[in-house]
Amino acid sequence: MKDINFVYDSIIIGGGVIGASVARYLSRYKGNFLVIEKHNDCGEETSSRNSAIVHSGYDPIPGTQKAKFNVLGNKMMGQVCEDLNVEFLRIGSITVAFSKEEDAILLSLLERAKENNVEAEFLTQDQLRKIEPNISPLATSGLLCKSAGIVNPFTLNIKFMENAMDNGVELHLNEEVTNITKRVDFYEVFTNLGNIYRTKTIVNAAGLYSDKVLSFVEKPEFEIEPRKGEYFVLDHFNTSFVKHTLFMCPTKVGKGILVSPTTSFNYILGPSNDLTYKEDYMTNTDILNSVKEGAFKLIPSIPLQENIRQFSGIRANSSTHDFVIGESKINKGFFNCAAIMSPGLASSPAIGEYVSDLIKNELNLEINPNFNPKVRKSSSLKTLGKDKYNELIKENPQYGKLICRCERVSEGEIVDSIHRNCGARSVKGVKKRTRSGFGRCQGTFCQEDVVKILARELNISLDEVNYDDLGTNILVETRKGQ
Protein backbone atom coordinates (compact mmCIF):
# COMPACT_ATOMS: atom_id res chain seq x y z
CA MET A 1 0.00 0.00 0.00
CA LYS A 2 1.14 3.54 -0.74
CA ASP A 3 2.49 5.46 2.27
CA ILE A 4 -0.60 7.46 3.19
CA ASN A 5 1.49 10.00 5.08
CA PHE A 6 3.08 11.22 1.86
CA VAL A 7 1.28 14.32 0.60
CA TYR A 8 1.30 15.35 -3.04
CA ASP A 9 0.85 18.96 -3.99
CA SER A 10 -1.53 17.89 -6.74
CA ILE A 11 -2.96 14.69 -8.17
CA ILE A 12 -4.28 14.81 -11.72
CA ILE A 13 -6.94 12.23 -12.49
CA GLY A 14 -6.76 11.31 -16.16
CA GLY A 15 -3.86 11.12 -18.61
CA GLY A 16 -5.66 12.38 -21.71
CA VAL A 17 -4.53 15.51 -23.52
CA ILE A 18 -6.03 17.83 -20.87
CA GLY A 19 -4.58 16.01 -17.86
CA ALA A 20 -1.21 15.70 -19.62
CA SER A 21 -1.24 19.40 -20.49
CA VAL A 22 -2.00 20.37 -16.88
CA ALA A 23 0.83 18.08 -15.74
CA ARG A 24 3.27 19.63 -18.19
CA TYR A 25 2.46 23.19 -17.16
CA LEU A 26 2.45 22.28 -13.44
CA SER A 27 6.00 20.99 -13.84
CA ARG A 28 7.06 24.62 -14.34
CA TYR A 29 6.77 24.85 -10.56
CA LYS A 30 8.43 23.08 -7.64
CA GLY A 31 6.24 20.40 -6.14
CA ASN A 32 5.24 16.75 -6.00
CA PHE A 33 2.75 15.98 -8.77
CA LEU A 34 1.13 12.69 -9.75
CA VAL A 35 -1.01 11.67 -12.73
CA ILE A 36 -3.26 8.63 -12.27
CA GLU A 37 -4.44 6.99 -15.50
CA LYS A 38 -6.62 3.88 -15.56
CA HIS A 39 -5.42 2.63 -18.97
CA ASN A 40 -2.12 1.09 -20.04
CA ASP A 41 -1.19 4.29 -21.86
CA CYS A 42 -2.09 7.97 -21.95
CA GLY A 43 -4.77 9.28 -24.29
CA GLU A 44 -6.66 6.06 -24.88
CA GLU A 45 -10.15 7.55 -25.11
CA THR A 46 -11.33 10.86 -26.59
CA SER A 47 -7.81 12.26 -26.95
CA SER A 48 -6.82 9.68 -29.57
CA ARG A 49 -10.21 9.27 -31.26
CA ASN A 50 -11.02 12.64 -32.82
CA SER A 51 -10.69 14.74 -35.95
CA ALA A 52 -7.22 16.10 -35.00
CA ILE A 53 -8.32 19.65 -35.84
CA VAL A 54 -6.92 22.78 -34.17
CA HIS A 55 -10.02 24.92 -34.53
CA SER A 56 -9.55 28.64 -35.13
CA GLY A 57 -12.19 29.63 -32.56
CA TYR A 58 -14.70 31.36 -34.83
CA ASP A 59 -17.56 29.01 -33.93
CA PRO A 60 -17.99 28.96 -30.10
CA ILE A 61 -20.50 31.38 -28.61
CA PRO A 62 -18.65 34.52 -27.48
CA GLY A 63 -18.06 34.70 -23.75
CA THR A 64 -18.09 30.93 -23.21
CA GLN A 65 -15.23 28.85 -21.83
CA LYS A 66 -15.06 27.18 -25.23
CA ALA A 67 -14.46 30.48 -27.00
CA LYS A 68 -11.91 31.70 -24.46
CA PHE A 69 -9.73 28.59 -24.38
CA ASN A 70 -10.10 27.70 -28.07
CA VAL A 71 -8.75 31.06 -29.23
CA LEU A 72 -5.94 31.07 -26.65
CA GLY A 73 -5.02 27.44 -27.34
CA ASN A 74 -4.91 28.00 -31.10
CA LYS A 75 -2.44 30.85 -30.63
CA MET A 76 -0.25 28.72 -28.34
CA MET A 77 -0.24 25.58 -30.48
CA GLY A 78 2.60 26.47 -32.84
CA GLN A 79 5.16 27.07 -30.10
CA VAL A 80 3.90 24.11 -28.06
CA CYS A 81 4.33 21.73 -30.99
CA GLU A 82 7.76 23.13 -31.80
CA ASP A 83 8.89 22.60 -28.21
CA LEU A 84 7.40 19.11 -27.99
CA ASN A 85 8.42 17.91 -31.46
CA VAL A 86 4.78 17.33 -32.50
CA GLU A 87 3.52 17.45 -36.07
CA PHE A 88 1.39 20.58 -36.63
CA LEU A 89 0.33 22.31 -39.85
CA ARG A 90 -1.64 25.57 -39.93
CA ILE A 91 -3.49 24.75 -43.17
CA GLY A 92 -6.63 26.78 -42.49
CA SER A 93 -10.26 25.71 -42.52
CA ILE A 94 -13.20 26.49 -44.80
CA THR A 95 -16.81 26.18 -43.69
CA VAL A 96 -18.88 25.51 -46.79
CA ALA A 97 -22.42 26.67 -47.65
CA PHE A 98 -24.77 25.03 -50.15
CA SER A 99 -27.70 27.45 -50.25
CA LYS A 100 -28.68 31.10 -49.76
CA GLU A 101 -29.81 30.20 -46.24
CA GLU A 102 -26.40 28.74 -45.45
CA ASP A 103 -24.68 31.74 -47.06
CA ALA A 104 -26.48 33.84 -44.44
CA ILE A 105 -25.27 31.50 -41.68
CA LEU A 106 -21.69 32.00 -42.84
CA LEU A 107 -22.13 35.77 -42.72
CA SER A 108 -23.40 35.48 -39.14
CA LEU A 109 -20.41 33.29 -38.29
CA LEU A 110 -18.16 35.94 -39.77
CA GLU A 111 -19.59 38.39 -37.24
CA ARG A 112 -19.09 35.85 -34.45
CA ALA A 113 -15.47 35.41 -35.53
CA LYS A 114 -14.96 39.15 -35.09
CA GLU A 115 -16.44 38.97 -31.57
CA ASN A 116 -14.02 36.12 -30.74
CA ASN A 117 -11.11 38.08 -32.25
CA VAL A 118 -10.53 35.47 -34.96
CA GLU A 119 -9.59 36.49 -38.48
CA ALA A 120 -12.01 35.12 -41.07
CA GLU A 121 -12.84 35.80 -44.70
CA PHE A 122 -16.03 35.24 -46.69
CA LEU A 123 -15.39 33.45 -50.00
CA THR A 124 -17.60 33.63 -53.06
CA GLN A 125 -18.25 30.51 -55.09
CA ASP A 126 -15.49 31.42 -57.57
CA GLN A 127 -12.99 32.18 -54.80
CA LEU A 128 -13.85 28.92 -53.09
CA ARG A 129 -13.34 26.80 -56.20
CA LYS A 130 -10.08 28.58 -57.00
CA ILE A 131 -8.41 27.47 -53.75
CA GLU A 132 -10.20 24.08 -53.53
CA PRO A 133 -10.68 22.86 -57.13
CA ASN A 134 -12.20 19.52 -56.10
CA ILE A 135 -15.01 21.02 -54.06
CA SER A 136 -18.59 20.32 -55.10
CA PRO A 137 -19.95 22.59 -57.86
CA LEU A 138 -23.07 22.92 -55.68
CA ALA A 139 -21.13 24.80 -52.99
CA THR A 140 -22.21 28.45 -52.96
CA SER A 141 -19.73 30.12 -50.59
CA GLY A 142 -17.20 29.53 -47.83
CA LEU A 143 -15.80 31.00 -44.64
CA LEU A 144 -12.00 30.82 -44.58
CA CYS A 145 -10.12 30.85 -41.25
CA LYS A 146 -6.40 30.74 -41.93
CA SER A 147 -5.42 30.18 -38.30
CA ALA A 148 -7.00 26.70 -38.13
CA GLY A 149 -4.68 23.75 -38.30
CA ILE A 150 -4.17 20.02 -37.99
CA VAL A 151 -2.09 18.26 -35.34
CA ASN A 152 -0.99 14.74 -34.49
CA PRO A 153 -3.30 14.08 -31.51
CA PHE A 154 -1.41 10.98 -30.37
CA THR A 155 1.99 12.61 -30.05
CA LEU A 156 0.57 15.88 -28.67
CA ASN A 157 -0.89 13.95 -25.72
CA ILE A 158 2.15 11.74 -25.24
CA LYS A 159 4.68 14.56 -25.53
CA PHE A 160 2.79 16.69 -23.00
CA MET A 161 3.17 13.78 -20.58
CA GLU A 162 6.75 12.97 -21.58
CA ASN A 163 7.77 16.57 -20.97
CA ALA A 164 5.94 16.60 -17.64
CA MET A 165 7.81 13.45 -16.58
CA ASP A 166 11.12 14.86 -17.85
CA ASN A 167 10.46 17.70 -15.40
CA GLY A 168 9.64 15.47 -12.42
CA VAL A 169 5.94 14.53 -12.63
CA GLU A 170 5.01 10.94 -11.66
CA LEU A 171 2.72 8.83 -13.85
CA HIS A 172 0.84 5.77 -12.58
CA LEU A 173 -0.76 3.71 -15.34
CA ASN A 174 -3.30 0.90 -14.97
CA GLU A 175 -4.70 2.47 -11.81
CA GLU A 176 -8.24 3.78 -11.42
CA VAL A 177 -9.55 6.24 -8.84
CA THR A 178 -12.47 4.64 -6.99
CA ASN A 179 -13.22 7.25 -4.32
CA ILE A 180 -12.09 10.57 -2.86
CA THR A 181 -12.48 11.77 0.72
CA LYS A 182 -12.14 15.41 1.74
CA ARG A 183 -10.21 15.99 4.96
CA VAL A 184 -9.51 19.31 6.70
CA ASP A 185 -6.32 20.22 4.83
CA PHE A 186 -6.04 17.55 2.16
CA TYR A 187 -7.84 14.92 0.11
CA GLU A 188 -7.46 11.14 0.26
CA VAL A 189 -7.60 9.47 -3.13
CA PHE A 190 -8.45 5.75 -3.19
CA THR A 191 -7.67 3.48 -6.15
CA ASN A 192 -8.52 0.00 -7.36
CA LEU A 193 -5.03 -1.19 -6.39
CA GLY A 194 -5.74 -0.56 -2.72
CA ASN A 195 -3.56 2.55 -2.64
CA ILE A 196 -4.47 5.68 -0.70
CA TYR A 197 -2.82 8.92 -1.78
CA ARG A 198 -2.92 12.19 0.14
CA THR A 199 -2.90 15.41 -1.85
CA LYS A 200 -3.40 19.12 -1.25
CA THR A 201 -5.21 19.63 -4.55
CA ILE A 202 -6.93 17.51 -7.18
CA VAL A 203 -7.39 18.08 -10.91
CA ASN A 204 -10.39 16.28 -12.36
CA ALA A 205 -9.38 15.62 -15.98
CA ALA A 206 -11.25 12.34 -16.28
CA GLY A 207 -12.86 13.07 -19.64
CA LEU A 208 -15.96 10.97 -20.20
CA TYR A 209 -15.97 10.14 -16.48
CA SER A 210 -15.39 13.65 -15.13
CA ASP A 211 -18.94 13.81 -13.79
CA LYS A 212 -18.38 10.54 -11.93
CA VAL A 213 -15.09 11.74 -10.40
CA LEU A 214 -16.71 14.99 -9.27
CA SER A 215 -19.55 13.00 -7.69
CA PHE A 216 -17.05 11.52 -5.22
CA VAL A 217 -16.92 14.90 -3.43
CA GLU A 218 -20.09 16.76 -4.46
CA LYS A 219 -23.17 16.59 -6.63
CA PRO A 220 -22.19 17.66 -10.17
CA GLU A 221 -24.05 20.57 -11.73
CA PHE A 222 -23.54 18.97 -15.13
CA GLU A 223 -23.91 15.55 -16.71
CA ILE A 224 -21.76 14.03 -19.42
CA GLU A 225 -23.94 13.23 -22.44
CA PRO A 226 -21.55 11.20 -24.63
CA ARG A 227 -21.85 11.54 -28.38
CA LYS A 228 -20.17 9.13 -30.79
CA GLY A 229 -18.52 10.10 -34.05
CA GLU A 230 -17.54 7.59 -36.73
CA TYR A 231 -14.79 8.16 -39.30
CA PHE A 232 -13.09 6.90 -42.43
CA VAL A 233 -9.33 7.16 -42.90
CA LEU A 234 -7.94 7.22 -46.44
CA ASP A 235 -4.41 6.24 -47.42
CA HIS A 236 -1.78 8.65 -48.77
CA PHE A 237 -2.79 9.19 -52.40
CA ASN A 238 -2.58 12.87 -53.39
CA THR A 239 -1.19 15.55 -51.09
CA SER A 240 -3.07 18.35 -52.90
CA PHE A 241 -6.48 16.65 -53.24
CA VAL A 242 -7.84 18.77 -50.37
CA LYS A 243 -5.71 21.61 -49.03
CA HIS A 244 -7.82 22.89 -46.12
CA THR A 245 -10.03 21.34 -43.47
CA LEU A 246 -13.51 21.51 -45.01
CA PHE A 247 -16.52 21.81 -42.69
CA MET A 248 -20.23 21.73 -43.36
CA CYS A 249 -22.31 24.57 -41.90
CA PRO A 250 -22.64 23.92 -38.14
CA THR A 251 -25.92 22.85 -36.55
CA LYS A 252 -27.13 22.81 -32.94
CA VAL A 253 -25.45 19.44 -32.33
CA GLY A 254 -22.09 20.08 -33.95
CA LYS A 255 -19.98 21.04 -36.91
CA GLY A 256 -21.15 18.17 -39.11
CA ILE A 257 -19.10 16.05 -41.50
CA LEU A 258 -15.63 17.28 -42.42
CA VAL A 259 -13.04 16.30 -45.00
CA SER A 260 -9.48 17.07 -44.00
CA PRO A 261 -5.87 16.17 -44.59
CA THR A 262 -3.93 14.85 -41.60
CA THR A 263 -0.37 15.60 -40.53
CA SER A 264 0.63 12.19 -41.89
CA PHE A 265 -0.83 13.14 -45.31
CA ASN A 266 -3.75 10.78 -45.06
CA TYR A 267 -7.32 12.10 -45.30
CA ILE A 268 -10.04 11.82 -42.68
CA LEU A 269 -13.80 11.85 -43.29
CA GLY A 270 -16.35 12.29 -40.51
CA PRO A 271 -17.57 12.39 -37.83
CA SER A 272 -21.14 11.35 -37.30
CA ASN A 273 -22.80 12.69 -34.16
CA ASP A 274 -25.04 10.34 -32.18
CA LEU A 275 -25.92 9.95 -28.51
CA THR A 276 -24.34 6.81 -27.09
CA TYR A 277 -22.95 5.28 -23.88
CA LYS A 278 -19.41 5.75 -22.64
CA GLU A 279 -17.91 2.44 -23.79
CA ASP A 280 -19.54 2.20 -27.24
CA TYR A 281 -16.68 2.22 -29.77
CA MET A 282 -18.37 -0.02 -32.35
CA THR A 283 -18.88 1.30 -35.86
CA ASN A 284 -22.16 0.96 -37.73
CA THR A 285 -22.61 0.47 -41.48
CA ASP A 286 -25.66 2.73 -41.74
CA ILE A 287 -23.94 5.53 -39.84
CA LEU A 288 -20.78 5.18 -41.91
CA ASN A 289 -22.92 5.39 -45.04
CA SER A 290 -24.30 8.71 -43.78
CA VAL A 291 -20.71 9.89 -43.25
CA LYS A 292 -19.94 8.96 -46.86
CA GLU A 293 -22.98 10.91 -48.02
CA GLY A 294 -21.89 14.03 -46.15
CA ALA A 295 -18.30 13.76 -47.35
CA PHE A 296 -19.41 13.31 -50.98
CA LYS A 297 -21.55 16.43 -50.65
CA LEU A 298 -18.35 18.37 -49.95
CA ILE A 299 -16.06 16.53 -52.39
CA PRO A 300 -17.89 14.34 -54.98
CA SER A 301 -14.66 12.79 -56.29
CA ILE A 302 -13.41 11.26 -53.02
CA PRO A 303 -11.64 7.97 -53.95
CA LEU A 304 -13.15 5.69 -51.31
CA GLN A 305 -11.12 2.81 -52.72
CA GLU A 306 -8.29 4.42 -50.73
CA ASN A 307 -10.10 3.73 -47.45
CA ILE A 308 -7.82 1.82 -45.09
CA ARG A 309 -9.82 1.83 -41.84
CA GLN A 310 -12.84 3.09 -39.94
CA PHE A 311 -12.95 4.06 -36.29
CA SER A 312 -15.13 5.83 -33.76
CA GLY A 313 -14.58 8.27 -30.92
CA ILE A 314 -16.76 9.50 -28.07
CA ARG A 315 -16.96 13.16 -27.13
CA ALA A 316 -17.58 14.22 -23.52
CA ASN A 317 -20.46 16.55 -24.38
CA SER A 318 -22.03 18.24 -21.38
CA SER A 319 -25.58 19.12 -20.41
CA THR A 320 -24.26 22.70 -19.96
CA HIS A 321 -22.94 22.78 -23.56
CA ASP A 322 -19.70 24.34 -22.31
CA PHE A 323 -16.42 23.38 -20.69
CA VAL A 324 -16.42 23.15 -16.88
CA ILE A 325 -13.09 24.62 -15.82
CA GLY A 326 -11.92 26.01 -12.51
CA GLU A 327 -11.99 25.47 -8.76
CA SER A 328 -15.07 23.94 -7.14
CA LYS A 329 -17.26 26.44 -5.31
CA ILE A 330 -17.82 23.84 -2.58
CA ASN A 331 -14.50 22.03 -2.20
CA LYS A 332 -11.43 24.23 -2.06
CA GLY A 333 -8.47 22.75 -3.88
CA PHE A 334 -10.60 20.61 -6.21
CA PHE A 335 -10.15 21.82 -9.80
CA ASN A 336 -12.32 20.69 -12.69
CA CYS A 337 -11.19 20.28 -16.27
CA ALA A 338 -14.47 18.60 -17.11
CA ALA A 339 -16.86 18.26 -20.03
CA ILE A 340 -14.06 18.99 -22.48
CA MET A 341 -15.76 18.37 -25.80
CA SER A 342 -14.78 19.90 -29.15
CA PRO A 343 -12.74 22.14 -29.42
CA GLY A 344 -10.91 20.51 -26.50
CA LEU A 345 -7.84 19.44 -28.46
CA ALA A 346 -7.23 22.99 -29.71
CA SER A 347 -7.89 24.35 -26.22
CA SER A 348 -5.58 21.94 -24.38
CA PRO A 349 -2.46 24.13 -24.00
CA ALA A 350 -4.48 27.08 -22.72
CA ILE A 351 -6.46 24.94 -20.28
CA GLY A 352 -3.27 23.32 -18.97
CA GLU A 353 -1.57 26.66 -18.42
CA TYR A 354 -4.64 28.26 -16.82
CA VAL A 355 -5.38 25.45 -14.34
CA SER A 356 -1.74 24.98 -13.40
CA ASP A 357 -1.54 28.67 -12.57
CA LEU A 358 -4.65 28.40 -10.39
CA ILE A 359 -2.91 25.64 -8.42
CA LYS A 360 0.33 27.62 -8.26
CA ASN A 361 -1.55 30.55 -6.74
CA GLU A 362 -3.50 28.29 -4.37
CA LEU A 363 -0.34 26.65 -2.99
CA ASN A 364 2.13 29.52 -3.47
CA LEU A 365 4.39 27.27 -5.52
CA GLU A 366 7.85 28.45 -6.48
CA ILE A 367 9.19 28.47 -10.03
CA ASN A 368 11.06 25.32 -11.03
CA PRO A 369 14.42 26.72 -12.19
CA ASN A 370 15.26 23.45 -13.96
CA PHE A 371 12.08 23.35 -16.06
CA ASN A 372 12.85 22.51 -19.69
CA PRO A 373 9.91 23.11 -22.09
CA LYS A 374 11.42 20.96 -24.83
CA VAL A 375 11.65 17.22 -25.39
CA ARG A 376 14.50 15.42 -27.09
CA LYS A 377 13.74 15.26 -30.80
CA SER A 378 13.11 11.94 -32.49
CA SER A 379 15.07 10.82 -35.53
CA SER A 380 13.34 9.22 -38.49
CA LEU A 381 13.61 8.64 -42.22
CA LYS A 382 10.75 11.12 -42.69
CA THR A 383 12.38 14.00 -40.80
CA LEU A 384 16.07 13.61 -41.70
CA GLY A 385 17.66 14.03 -45.12
CA LYS A 386 19.32 11.09 -46.81
CA ASP A 387 22.86 12.04 -45.77
CA LYS A 388 22.00 12.67 -42.10
CA TYR A 389 19.97 9.48 -41.94
CA ASN A 390 22.86 7.44 -43.35
CA GLU A 391 25.09 8.96 -40.65
CA LEU A 392 22.51 7.93 -38.03
CA ILE A 393 22.54 4.35 -39.35
CA LYS A 394 26.30 4.24 -38.94
CA GLU A 395 25.90 5.31 -35.30
CA ASN A 396 22.98 2.97 -34.64
CA PRO A 397 22.33 0.18 -37.20
CA GLN A 398 18.79 -0.32 -35.82
CA TYR A 399 17.77 2.78 -37.79
CA GLY A 400 18.74 0.93 -40.95
CA LYS A 401 16.23 -1.88 -40.38
CA LEU A 402 12.79 -0.96 -41.72
CA ILE A 403 9.99 -2.54 -39.69
CA CYS A 404 6.89 -0.79 -41.10
CA ARG A 405 7.24 -0.32 -44.84
CA CYS A 406 3.88 1.44 -45.29
CA GLU A 407 4.88 4.29 -42.95
CA ARG A 408 8.67 3.87 -43.24
CA VAL A 409 9.34 3.23 -39.56
CA SER A 410 12.67 1.78 -38.44
CA GLU A 411 13.55 -0.49 -35.55
CA GLY A 412 15.56 2.37 -34.05
CA GLU A 413 12.47 4.61 -33.87
CA ILE A 414 10.45 1.87 -32.19
CA VAL A 415 13.14 1.16 -29.62
CA ASP A 416 13.43 4.87 -28.86
CA SER A 417 9.65 5.18 -28.42
CA ILE A 418 9.72 2.41 -25.81
CA HIS A 419 12.52 3.83 -23.66
CA ARG A 420 11.45 7.46 -23.39
CA ASN A 421 9.47 8.79 -20.44
CA CYS A 422 5.84 7.85 -21.08
CA GLY A 423 7.19 5.18 -23.41
CA ALA A 424 5.25 2.59 -25.39
CA ARG A 425 4.18 -0.51 -23.44
CA SER A 426 1.98 -2.17 -26.07
CA VAL A 427 1.59 -2.65 -29.82
CA LYS A 428 -0.91 0.21 -29.93
CA GLY A 429 1.48 2.34 -27.88
CA VAL A 430 4.18 1.86 -30.53
CA LYS A 431 1.60 2.56 -33.22
CA LYS A 432 0.56 5.89 -31.69
CA ARG A 433 4.15 7.06 -31.24
CA THR A 434 5.73 5.94 -34.52
CA ARG A 435 2.81 5.17 -36.91
CA SER A 436 4.04 1.59 -37.29
CA GLY A 437 0.85 -0.27 -38.24
CA PHE A 438 -1.08 2.82 -39.33
CA GLY A 439 -0.49 2.26 -43.05
CA ARG A 440 -2.37 0.47 -45.81
CA CYS A 441 -1.69 -3.03 -44.47
CA GLN A 442 -2.76 -1.98 -40.94
CA GLY A 443 0.07 -3.91 -39.30
CA THR A 444 -0.33 -7.15 -41.24
CA PHE A 445 3.37 -7.34 -42.01
CA CYS A 446 5.01 -5.34 -39.20
CA GLN A 447 3.03 -6.33 -36.11
CA GLU A 448 4.95 -9.57 -35.53
CA ASP A 449 8.24 -7.67 -35.49
CA VAL A 450 6.79 -5.00 -33.18
CA VAL A 451 5.73 -7.71 -30.71
CA LYS A 452 9.24 -9.18 -30.72
CA ILE A 453 10.84 -5.76 -30.19
CA LEU A 454 8.49 -4.97 -27.29
CA ALA A 455 9.23 -8.31 -25.63
CA ARG A 456 12.97 -7.82 -26.00
CA GLU A 457 13.08 -4.19 -24.86
CA LEU A 458 10.64 -4.60 -21.95
CA ASN A 459 12.31 -7.87 -20.93
CA ILE A 460 9.06 -9.83 -21.01
CA SER A 461 7.94 -12.96 -22.84
CA LEU A 462 6.12 -12.78 -26.17
CA ASP A 463 2.86 -13.92 -24.60
CA GLU A 464 3.02 -11.02 -22.12
CA VAL A 465 2.93 -8.41 -24.89
CA ASN A 466 -0.43 -6.63 -25.03
CA TYR A 467 -2.04 -5.04 -28.05
CA ASP A 468 -3.52 -2.27 -25.88
CA ASP A 469 -4.72 -2.48 -22.27
CA LEU A 470 -3.62 -5.21 -19.88
CA GLY A 471 -5.27 -8.47 -20.84
CA THR A 472 -5.23 -7.82 -24.59
CA ASN A 473 -2.37 -10.25 -25.16
CA ILE A 474 -1.37 -10.76 -28.77
CA LEU A 475 -0.33 -14.41 -28.28
CA VAL A 476 -2.86 -16.62 -26.53
CA GLU A 477 -1.55 -20.13 -27.24
CA THR A 478 1.42 -21.97 -28.71
CA ARG A 479 0.99 -24.40 -31.58
CA LYS A 480 2.31 -27.90 -31.04
CA GLY A 481 6.01 -28.15 -31.80
CA GLN A 482 6.59 -24.36 -31.83
Cβ neighbours of 364 (radius 10 Å): 7
Cβ neighbour number for residue 285 with a 10 Å cutoff = 9
CA distance 189 to 216: 10
d(CA 159, CA 85): 8
Q: Which residues are catalytic?
A: 55
The burial class, CB within 10 Å (0-12 / 13-18 / 19+), for 63 is: exposed
Distances in Å between the Cα of 366 and the Cα atoms of 19, 27, 350, 370, 371 are 21, 11, 20, 12, 12
Distance CA 319, CA 341 (A): 11
Could you please report the per-residue DSSP string of 162-230?
Answer: HHHHHTT-EEE-S--EEEEEE-SS-EEEEETTS-EEEEEEEEE--GGGHHHHHHTTS--S--B--EEEE
Strand 245-248 with 258-261, pairing: antiparallel
Helices 344-363 and 153-166 cross at an angle (nearest 10°) of 20
Query: What's the CA gap between 255 and 449, in Å, rounded?
Result: 40
Q: Where are the beta strands (DSSP E) in 125-169?
A: 141-145, 149-151
The Cα 396–Cα 418 span in angstroms is: 16
With contact defined as beta carbons under 8 Å apart, do 160 and 352 qualify?
A: yes
> Considering all CA atoms of the chain, what is the largest pairwise distance in Å, rounded to the nearest integer?
72
